[in-house]
Structure 1
């Protein structure tokens, strides 16, 4: 069925299917990729169900933790109203995007995710090149996301040292070396839930008097230097939007999930919906308790860990309270988030390599571990190298943090934009178990507009005047993506890249 869509790239598919790989599915539901040249068979076992992947999705998005780590942006570019209503807007926009991506994943449940959706939705003349650019932006977005997330864990630990270790001198290279991974996701989920209640309850009990409702929902504080309130408020959305990326992690483990067409959309929709509904009360509770925003963001660790500074101020400098209330962030990083993000990133690299976009060696799967080990190693090595950027230039690291959000948003926006313009008229793949029906196009239009709005303002400098230190380097990373994707396309992509191998799609359905 999918081979009918390959009018432009049929010769590429045929060459790769006969010369490079053979894909088949075993009776027990394993996806196998056999290298014809070596005869080695790689297997991905379908060990994940809706609950395990939902948990993984929560561990990668970690909404309330992400919002707390980036709260300074909203508080200086809009104040309490940006913090509260910006979160509500971000949740609504992310839910629309999630509905669209969930529909595509039900139709095309592959580890490649976004670049495979584009390959099916786009007009035949442009599908391979659009899929190529989408694949690269997805990879860069996830690598930057993994780097930023793991770095946030290290920065939280360093904030404790700054506040409570006399004589400690803050050096950026210290942060670059504080990194480890563990695979204890169930403990991470427990911490995620406990931390949600503990952090808000402590503030509600100990902060008195609290802010008024008028202040919480209407205050506009602009310390960014931008004269336009609209621009400042829009830039402040970064704090909330960062909590609504990464929810597509489950899509990239689609080929390891049972009942994938039915259950994969459930994981993404449930993650965004539950995170939005449950985190909004947390945001409001915290907003009532942030009575001194300027004292919070200008404190010793106000920029690297605003909530550590908040609890330090509220508790009167108590070490036990400050560490106890903020330890959830590094614990989540150690136990679940780091492992989840790296797992999703490695699957994207593996799928892109399988399609001919990256070295074929990265498309292998270990017969013993049943995972793409080489792709995992490549992911970890790249993240470790990127973490060194903080030693030389802290602003460049923060550019990575904003670039991860922008690039992941672009990876969501390309398929929704194509769907907005073309619908499903170029796609002969049948609609999946989950479908938006006649609403698919209006929802896709809204989702595309929302993504476009965020991408534009998230490339703005966060503060004025613009200097080397205040420059938003997200635009530099976006330019790097375009250069890499363009250079590799003309070097080898246009002759080697298949987009969505029909054999893989046919077997997975």
Structure 2
């Protein structure tokens, strides 16, 4: 039994939550609350990291990591090219609605099993016994792929913004691929510093950045509405365009949905930090839902504003700055200084979003190694006694992103396919994990208790999620343009297939060493 008479100087001042008849009280920064300790014991896991995230700070962490309004501007080139301004606005709303069902489905699973393993752990617990081990193993590999490519994507987009800023202020500058790669490495160095030396202050840092995230949204919105020349309402909301030449406007709009989907992929990020959050079963699902609705609305309002400011779609898409939203900033403010200021604001948020992505990716790698899912598991699954974080996993995650950044030296178009690769991998993990819990509901099998229970709405929510995700999954594999050349092909399918094939082969050869998280769960 845990002694409830803890020193008042160590008691969390947040309201306690009850589970059954037992009061949920704070134990220590290491153990979290009594509910956390029970959950870890049930899952057969030993608490190794500090639980220094609380409910408000984990919301801040997930808000910054998703950074939807910033992502909407950064990926606007995809939606503008496929659907135009109307496609950007209404396509985003469709995707946001669909991801609401996805977020609710995963929030419920995160409350049932609050572990940093996330999807691969949930699959292990909820899949039919005949395929638990294999599906969990596959989802674990795809989860690592998805988060590693997410880190590569965010660092690349940040580097592009820096190059755009240099070009905006020095017209004679000629961007080179190796410049961008070196900038990615510089950004990764900053991420490494904050994920190691300043890891204990990460909740505070992300809390400060979320304030900038909200203030920046307001600042950019006001500047664009006050200073920009706006397009007519009918054009913005009703004009769907097939700028890439698909030959079908509806098809073009559907392809453009992938850009909006990339703004929501990673919505379960808080779950991968669950073992560093106090009262995780309560806090994580609510952080996911607040992130979906809060960031989602921010992104939609910014998308509408941005669409009003795009008077000439093709000139924005082909801007010499290489970053469409920077061209819109410049057109709106008619000032190099104004465009520079707004872009710097976004750059800071993007940089610390990358810090959070690296943290999440490293936790995914660590927990999968802890369950012996990858080669050299004992090395990747170590916790640093000094920093009380998976330090080796952080280092390896950074190295993986450095290797991915080398693709940019050969082709920036090929590197951007990393975005599709990450989206496809993550969507697959969502589809499989939600399908497993939906199957249990269809079979009327009992589910674990949850502090975020969907009740009778659970099965409809799960089924809508699966259908929506499958639809987006298909279009994530489409090339960026119709009738593509070799350089324009979406090579995400090759990377995706390679990882799936390798994981299957490794599973076959090492199937006796990987037991799956469910084998460690306390029965009864």
* TM-score band, normalised by shorter chain: 0.7 to 0.9
In structure 2, the gaps of 5 or more residues are: 1-26, 38-45, 195-201
Deviation string, structure 1 residues 403-445 (Cα, Å, up to 9, x no partner): 1122112211111122333427596552311111111111111
For residues 205-220 of structure 1, the aligned pairs below 5 Å read 205-208=226-229, 210-220=230-240
In structure 1, the gaps of 5 or more residues are: 1-25, 33-40
The alignment status of 1:191 with 2:212, answered yes or no, reads: yes
Tell me the number of residue pairs that the alignment of Structure 1 and Structure 2 aligns. Answer: 468
**Contact 2:48/2:388 (CA < 8 Å) preserved in 1?**
yes
Deviation string, structure 1 residues 128-154 (Cα, Å, up to 9, x no partner): 100011111111000000110111111
The CA distance in 1 between the partners of 2:445 and 2:50, in whole Å, is 28
Equivalent in the alignment of 2:298: 278
Instruction: Choose from 506, 514, 522 the match for 1:488.
Output: 506
Equivalent in the alignment of 1:355: 371
The CA distance in 2 between the partners of 1:234 and 1:441, in whole Å, is 26
The alignment status of 1:101 with 2:106, answered yes or no, reads: yes
The CA distance in 1 between the partners of 2:337 and 2:171, in whole Å, is 16
Q: Which runs of 4+ in 1 moved over 6 A?
A: none
The alignment status of 1:498 with 2:515, answered yes or no, reads: yes
Instruction: Choose from 82, 85, 89 the match for 2:87.
Output: 82
For residues 311-460 of structure 1, the aligned pairs below 5 Å read 311-316=329-334, 318-334=335-351, 336-358=352-374, 359-423=377-441, 425=443, 430-460=448-478
Instruction: Choose from 266, 273, 287 the match for 2:307.
Output: 287
Greater mean deviation of Cα atoms: 92-101 or 235-244: 235-244
Greater mean deviation of Cα atoms: 244-253 or 132-141: 244-253
**Contact 1:402/1:458 (CA < 8 Å) preserved in 2?**
yes
**Contact 2:228/2:331 (CA < 8 Å) preserved in 1?**
no
The CA distance in 1 between the partners of 2:431 and 2:300, in whole Å, is 24
Deviation string, structure 1 residues 455-509 (Cα, Å, up to 9, x no partner): 10111112122112211122122112211211211121x1111211544x449x9
Secondary structure in structure 2 of the residue aligned to 1:434:
coil
Q: What is the TM-score of this pair, normalised by structure 2?
A: 0.85
Deviation string, structure 1 residues 370-429 (Cα, Å, up to 9, x no partner): 101111111111111111110112122111012112211221111112233342759655
**Contact 2:110/2:281 (CA < 8 Å) preserved in 1?**
yes
The CA distance in 2 between the partners of 1:425 and 1:364, in whole Å, is 39
Secondary structure in structure 2 of the residue aligned to 1:463:
coil
Greater mean deviation of Cα atoms: 96-105 or 456-465: 456-465
**Contact 1:163/1:300 (CA < 8 Å) preserved in 2?**
no
Q: What is the TM-score of this pair, normalised by structure 1?
A: 0.88
**Contact 1:413/1:452 (CA < 8 Å) preserved in 2?**
yes
Instruction: Choose from 272, 275, 290 the match for 1:255.
Output: 275
For residues 135-154 of structure 1, the aligned pairs below 5 Å read 135-154=140-159
**Contact 2:479/2:489 (CA < 8 Å) preserved in 1?**
yes
**Contact 2:242/2:248 (CA < 8 Å) preserved in 1?**
no
Equivalent in the alignment of 2:15: none
When the two chains are superposed, the root-mean-square deviation of aligned CA atoms in Å is 2.1
**Contact 2:31/2:47 (CA < 8 Å) preserved in 1?**
no
